[in-house]
Amino acid sequence: MPLLDRLKKEKLIAIARNVPEYLLDQTAESLLKGGIVFIEITLNTPDALPAIERWKRSFGDEILVGAGTVLDLQMARDALSAGAEYLITPNLDEEVVEFATGRGIDVWPGVMTPTEMVKATKAGARAVKLFPSGTLGSQYIKDVRGPLHNIPLIATGGIHLGNLKEFLDAGATAAGLGSSLVDNTLIKNGNFDEITDRARRFRETAKEESGVA
C-alpha cells in the first residue's frame, strides 16, 4: 500500500522530539502498543539518526519511521541514509522536496498559505503539513480545502485529544501529535502505560471520523 494511502487510513503521526536517547526505544514500543504506526523522530533530537536505524532493525514493518525537522538537503540525505521512510519539514524547501521525491520518498513539507501548498505540490509533495494548525484553526482547513481540495493536509501543531476530531472533520487527512501524545514528562518519569493509553484514545477518536479498524 502506498505510504500516503496508509496515512489516510491510520490518520495519526506521533512526533518524538527531544526524548532522551535511553528512553527512545521504550517510547516507540509504548506508542506501537497503543496502535500508532507512524512515528516521526525530529532530527533536533539527540541521537535521532541512530534511533531511526535501530527502530528499522528492531521493529521492521511494524512501525513506519519518519524523520522530522528536516531543514536542509544534508539533513535529508542523512535521514534517508539512516533508513527514514518519509521526511517531514517545518517549512517549504523545494530543494528538499525535489531531492526526496526524486528518490521515491514521500516528503510532507510544512506550509501555511495556499501559495506554499501549491508550490509544494508542484515540487512533488503528495501531502503537506499545515503548521501551526492549532493557531490557524479548523475553519482555516475548511476554507483552503474549497479551492485546494486535492491537496492532502496533515494538521500539526496544537492538536490534542479535545480538537482532533474537529480537525479531521474539517478535512485534514491526518494529524501530527507532539506533546499531547509524546509527553516528555511522562516519558522521563517512566509512565509508558499512560503513553500507550493516550495512543489508544487518540486512535479511538480518529476511528470515529475515519472508520479505521
pTM, two decimals, is 0.96
Give mean pLDDT, residues 169-176: 98
Of 62, 129, 142, 208, which residue is the catalytic one?
129
Start-to-end CA distance of the chain, whole Å, equals 16
Annotation says 129 is catalytic: yes
Per-residue pLDDT, 213: 41
For residue 118, pLDDT beyond 50: yes
For residue 210, pLDDT beyond 70: no
Average pLDDT, rounded, for the chain: 96
Q: pLDDT above 70 covers what percent of the chain?
A: 98
Burial of 191 from C-beta contacts in 10 A (0-12 / 13-18 / 19+): middle
Q: Which residue type sits at 120?
A: A
Can you give the three-state secondary structure of the chain, one letter per residue?
A: CCHHHHHHHHCEEEEECCCCHHHHHHHHHHHHHCCCCEEEEECCCCCHHHHHHHHHHHHHHHCEEEEECCCCHHHHHHHHHHCCCEEECCCCCHHHHHHHHCCCCEEECEECCHHHHHHHHHHCCCCEEECCHHHHCHHHHHHHHCCCCCCCEEEECCCCCCCHHHHHHCCCCEEEECCCCCCHHHHHCCCHHHHHHHHHHHHHHHHHHHCCC
Does residue 107 contact residue 87 with C-beta atoms inside 8 Å?
A: yes
Per-residue pLDDT reduced to its tens digit, 4-41: 999 999 999 999 999 999 999 999 999 999 999 999 99
Task: Categorize the per-residue pLDDT at 147 as very low, low, confident or very high, splitting at 50, 70 and 90.
Answer: very high
Of 10, 29, 40, 85, which residue is the catalytic one?
40
- CATH number of domain containing 131: 3.20.20.70
Give mean pLDDT, residues 71-100: 98
For residue 211, pLDDT beyond 50: no
Number of folded domains that form the chain: 1
Per-residue pLDDT, 1: 84
Per-residue pLDDT reduced to its tens digit, 31-62: 999 999 999 999 999 999 999 999 999 999 99
Give mean pLDDT, residues 143-162: 97
Burial of 40 from C-beta contacts in 10 A (0-12 / 13-18 / 19+): buried
Domain that holds residue 130: 3-210
